[in-house]
Amino acid sequence: MSGAASGGAARVSPPLRKSRTRAGEFAVEAFIRVLGFSTIGFVVLIFLFLLREGVPAFFEVPLNGFFSTRWYPTFKLFGTLPLILGSVLVTVASIAIALPLGVATAVFVREVAPRWAREVLKPVIEVLAGIPSVVLGFFGMTYVAPLVRELLGAPTGLTAFSGALLLAYMALPTIISVAEDALDSVPRSYRDAGLAMGATRWQTIWRVVVPAGRSGILTAVMLGMGRAIGETMAVMMVTGNAAVMPTSLAFLFKPVRTMTATIAAEMGEVARGSTHYHALFGIGIILFVLTFLINLAAAKAIFQKRRRGGLR
Amino acid sequence: MSRSLLQTLGFILLGVVAMIVVAPILLVVGTIVARGISAINWEFISSMPRGGMREGGILPAIVGTLLLTLGTALVAVPIGVGGAIYLSEYARDTRLTRAIRLAIVNLAGIPSIVYGLFGLGMFVLFLRFGTSILAGSLTLAIMTLPVIISTAEEALRAVPQDFRTVSASLGGSRWQAVQHIVLPQALPGIITGVILGLLRAAGETAPILFTVAAFYLPRLPSSPLDQTMALPYHLYVITTQVPGMPLSVQYGTAFVLLALVLSLNIVATVIRSHFRRRRQW
């Protein structure tokens, strides 16, 4: 016993060599401080460069033109509304699919599943998080889109719905892991109290545990939404990319085009400094601000929780 | 219906939902492995593309992705680990520290295509690196930072406070504690985080669209200022931009990319679980 303990102690205390100089140490610490603050610098830099290239668009295209309903760059029409609504449609639909699946899976993994099932499920979900978006897009094109076409009898399977389906799965790892943390942070005493009142485990889960973890689940949804709205490749490959105004829910089963796909598809072909070029950066600004706000809201929830000692 | 029957049915339903989540993942991986592996041979991974990319191999794309990942690591690892050391060992809970954390959350949330725009604006055009491995690596590095910082900070924080106290009681300075005790102890966790960040960078397409990627460039890059092909972009190109591309080439490319990313994933998982078991605290 004592041998193991002293072995452990030996492992953690390598001989401390005399440090070079105090000045050297000061320099290292100053450097580390700079690295620590660099992230703020990067966020600012990103925003500044988007503004630098994107703001001219707001002078070249009148504001009511920039937020109008027609995006036809060849005719100098840069209305971003169809693209914004396209992104919103696909994102909202994907969350509508991913939320029930994600919460149910999180509940299953945390509250119900036997140990072996948990140890199979977790790594598989982690694998999903690691699959590159272009690979999922490829799979979506070859399998999901034809399936959607057959199921709907539509002329094409490249629809908002196909995109939403892929996005839902891409958002799932985030939603599941954050929702799991939320369930995990619900005190054990809540569960015990529910059971002691004579409720079944099922009733306790849905009437006590999940409601108690709802703010964390909301955070999960927001993070998933941020992920979905910014996703580019998979969406571009399966949504059909028609810049139309999705004015009704029927457009869920028609081709639409998102903001991200527009930038990715068109930036390669525009002349630098043209109105079209600036307009694409303008869309970048909209995306940056949108995701910034979504993540700010999610971060606020997380930080508050942490200060109250809610999340571990 | 009795309550216990309801509960049993409910639990079964939850299990079914979990299957609905997991089954397509296995289907995607299974399909790409099954159909991709037959397209793979030595020529495919070791020779230049020929015949409008429909024949030959994908060597330049593989090399390009490896070089980009290496470049990303060279930039992102020192900044990320340094930033994590600052947050875990030096930073107090001030307004400024909270601003750093907010910046990290937001960096993690910025869409990959916006990183692409930023890389184009700053590295390609403003700093005049041109479409190059350098510009792409820098763009990917900034995108990877939040993953590396968060996981490295978590690993550093997991080292017990006692270790630092003991070091201080022996007259060690704070940096000595970091250098000789905290950092070595946290290393496996940090390596796991670095790999997870890098595999994300290796699979990304959107940030390299306008900063590095060459549509078709059948030679190996010779300097950091060269353009290069890359696996994810190549897969996008051959699945959407080139008509009449044989499916076997598409599946083969998807398989190589997936295998690269998943094997890194497995390495990270193994390192993590191996050291978690060996850890004595």
The pLDDT value recorded for residue B74 is 97
The pLDDT value recorded for residue A2 is 38
Q: Which of A29, A46, A142 sits opposite B118 (nearest CB)?
A: A46
Task: State the pairing for strand pair B49-50/B55-56.
Answer: antiparallel
- Shortest CA distance to A181 belongs to which of A110, A118, A130? A110
The identity of residue B75, as a single letter, is V
Residues of A with CB below 8 A from B138's CB?
A: none
The pLDDT value recorded for residue A73 is 87
Residues of B with CB below 8 A from A131's CB?
A: 25, 28-29, 203, 258, 261-262
- Shortest CA distance to B107 belongs to which of A295, A65, A87, A149? A295
Does the CB of B263 have a partner CB in chain A at under 8 Å?
Answer: no
- Residue B1 domain-assigned? no
- Residue B223 domain-assigned? yes
The pLDDT value recorded for residue A66 is 83
- Shortest CA distance to A220 belongs to which of A246, A182, A190, A257? A182
- Residue B161 domain-assigned? yes
Question: A137 and A170 in contact (C-beta within 8 Å)?
Answer: no
Q: Report the sign of the C-alpha dihedral through residues B121, B126, B129, B135, in that order.
A: negative
- Residue B200 domain-assigned? yes
Instruction: Give per-residue burial for B179-213: e unless 16+ CB within 10 Å, then b.
Output: bbbbbebbbbbbbbbbbbbbbbbbbbbbbbbbbbb
A28 and B121 in contact by Cβ < 8 A? Answer: no
- Shortest CA distance to A66 belongs to which of A296, A278, A289, A210? A278
Does the CB of B258 have a partner CB in chain A at under 8 Å?
Answer: yes
- Tell me the Cα Rg of chain A: 25
Does the CB of B141 have a partner CB in chain A at under 8 Å?
Answer: no
- Residue B163 domain-assigned? yes
Judged by phi (left if over 0) then psi (alpha if -120 to 50, else beta), residue B162 lies in alpha
A133 and B205 in contact by Cβ < 8 A? Answer: yes
The CA-atom distances, in angstroms, between B197 and each of A43, A130, A209, B34, B265 are: 18, 10, 33, 27, 10
How far is residue A31's CA from residue A9's CA, in Å, rounded to a whole number? 31
The pLDDT value recorded for residue A311 is 41
B114 and A37 in contact by Cβ < 8 A? Answer: no
- Residue B267 domain-assigned? yes
How far is residue B225's CA from residue B133's CA, in Å, rounded to a whole number? 6
| Tally of structural domains, chain B | 1
Question: A297 and B109 in contact (C-beta within 8 Å)?
Answer: no
How far is residue B211's CA from residue B208's CA, in Å, rounded to a whole number? 5
Instruction: Give per-residue burial for A125-141: e unless 16+ CB within 10 Å, then b.
Output: bbbbbbbbbbbbbbbbb
- pLDDT tens, position by position, for chain A (312 residues)? 333 444 344 444 454 455 456 788 889 989 999 999 999 999 999 999 999 999 998 888 887 788 888 898 888 889 899 999 999 999 999 999 999 999 999 999 999 999 999 889 988 998 998 899 999 999 999 999 999 999 888 788 899 999 999 999 999 999 999 999 999 999 999 999 999 999 999 999 999 999 999 888 999 999 999 999 999 999 999 998 888 888 888 888 889 999 999 999 999 889 888 999 999 999 999 999 999 999 888 887 777 765 554 443
How far is residue B227's CA from residue B217's CA, in Å, rounded to a whole number? 8
Which chain A residue is nearest to residue B200, measuring alpha carbons? Answer: A130
Q: What is the DSSP letter of A18?
A: P
Judged by phi (left if over 0) then psi (alpha if -120 to 50, else beta), residue B171 lies in left
- Residue B22 domain-assigned? no
Task: State the pairing for strand pair B55-56/A77-78.
Answer: unpaired
**In whole numbers, what is the pLDDT of chain B averaged over residues?**
92
The pLDDT value recorded for residue A25 is 84
Residues of chain B with pLDDT under 70: 1, 278, 280-281
Full-model pTM: 0.90
The identity of residue A62, as a single letter, is P
Residues of A with CB below 8 A from B210's CB?
A: 267-268
- Domain at B177, CATH number: 1.10.3720.10
Question: Which SS3 state, helix, strand or coil, does residue B49 take?
Answer: strand
How far is residue B177's CA from residue A35's CA, in Å, rounded to a whole number? 19
Does the CB of B266 have a partner CB in chain A at under 8 Å?
Answer: no
The pLDDT value recorded for residue A51 is 96
State the CB neighbour count (10 A cutoff) for residue A22: 9
Residue B47 Cα, gap to closest chain A Cα (Å): 22
- Shortest CA distance to B240 belongs to which of A263, A134, A165? A134
Which chain B residue is nearest to residue A6, measuring alpha carbons? Answer: B280
The pLDDT value recorded for residue A310 is 44
Structure tokens at A295: 């993540």
Structure tokens at A278: 């600036």
Range of the domain at B121: 59-278
- Residue B2 domain-assigned? no
Does the CB of A119 have a partner CB in chain B at under 8 Å?
Answer: no
**B residues 184..203 contacting A (CB < 8 A):** 184-185, 199-200, 202-203
The pLDDT value recorded for residue A8 is 41
Contact partners, residue B119, CB within 8 Å, separation at least 6: B135, B136, B138, B139, B207, B210, B211
